[in-house]
Amino acid sequence: MNIKNRRIFLTTSFWAGIFGLFSTKVSGASLTPSDSQGPFYPITPQKDKDFDLTQVEGVTGVAKGTIVNIRGKILDENLTPLENVTIDMWQANAAGRYHHPHDTSLAPIDKNFQGWAIVQSGMNGTFNFKTIIPGAYKASGTWIRPPHIHFKISKIGYHELLTQMYFPDNELNEKDFLLQSKNAAEKDLMIAKKVNDSDDTLKYTIILKSI
Ligand SMILES: [Fe+2]
């Protein structure tokens, strides 16, 4: 185990241990709504897809942007935690640029930003990501996507879920065509929650439907 992996192991164990201190509020047993996959699912293979997106293995720098820790939890429709769920997430960098050959944005690529991660949920359905708040980006001439993280969630015996996680208190949320197509309860499930008014840690609960 190299130093980075050891640090990841210790950090993951730490978050998994304290996650139980925070209650998980969900809107009844509503399922997490699906949302567009978007055009930028990663297609360039990369070795480092661990939970820490702020550093890339073999690169010495740290990603630009505001660091945020996402404490996630996966439940089924009966609110039972699900372990060994595959959580595949990708997002733009702090400048709003995806590390994807089809992203024609002129915003800079950040070589220190991992951009893509795949992890498994652990005990009590928990998972964690350390990342940066993605930048907003233009989706069309008049449409600016608010900061969001794309998720693809899968586990045998459950419907695969493609969705997007949004950030609390972002004014662009109210103008986003995708998010505003959801009702209030759905939006509530799609917008991560602050922990103790902290901006650096967010809770995000995902509810899957069994087949
Ligand atoms: Fe996107």
pLDDT in tens, 169-180: 999 999 999 999
Q: Are 130 and 65 in contact (CB under 8 A)?
A: no
Q: In which band, very low, low, confident or very high, does the pLDDT at 141 lie, cut at 50, 70 and 90?
A: confident
Write down the residue that tokens 């950090």 correspond to: 11
Q: How far is the CA of 70 from the centre of ligand 1 (A)?
A: 17
Please state which of the ranges 28-32, 38-42, 130-134, 137-141 shows the lowest mean pLDDT.
28-32
What is each CA distance from 99 to 39, 152, 201, in whole angstroms? Answer: 12, 17, 24
Q: For the residues 142-154, what does the mean pLDDT come to?
A: 97
The radius of gyration of the chain from alpha carbons, rounded to an integer in Å, stands at: 16
Q: Are 80 and 131 in contact (CB under 8 A)?
A: no
Average pLDDT, the chain: 88
What sections of 20-54 are H helices per DSSP?
A: none
- pLDDT of 10 > 70? The answer is no
Please state which of the ranges 17-21, 145-149, 172-176 shows the lowest mean pLDDT.
17-21
- pLDDT of 72 > 50? The answer is yes
3-state secondary structure of 124: helix
Rounded distance between C-alpha atoms, residue 51 and residue 79, angstroms: 24
Total residue length of the chain: 211
Q: How far is the CA of 191 from the centre of ligand 1 (A)?
A: 15
pLDDT for the residue numbered 115: 97
Q: Are 178 and 170 in contact (CB under 8 A)?
A: no
Strands 193-195 and 161-166: unpaired
Residues with CB under 5 A from ligand 1 (ion): 38
DSSP 172: G
Q: How far is the CA of 136 from the centre of ligand 1 (A)?
A: 9
Q: How far is the CA of 196 from the centre of ligand 1 (A)?
A: 27
Kindly tell me the sign of the dihedral angle through the C-alpha atoms of 80, 84, 85, 91: positive
For 127, other C-beta atoms within 10 Å of its C-beta total: 27
Q: How far is the CA of 86 from the centre of ligand 1 (A)?
A: 20
Q: How far is the CA of 178 from the centre of ligand 1 (A)?
A: 11
pLDDT in tens, 149-171: 999 999 999 999 999 999 999 99
Kindly list the catalytic residues. 98, 137, 145, 148, 150
- pLDDT of 26 > 80? The answer is no
Q: How far is the CA of 2 from the centre of ligand 1 (A)?
A: 32
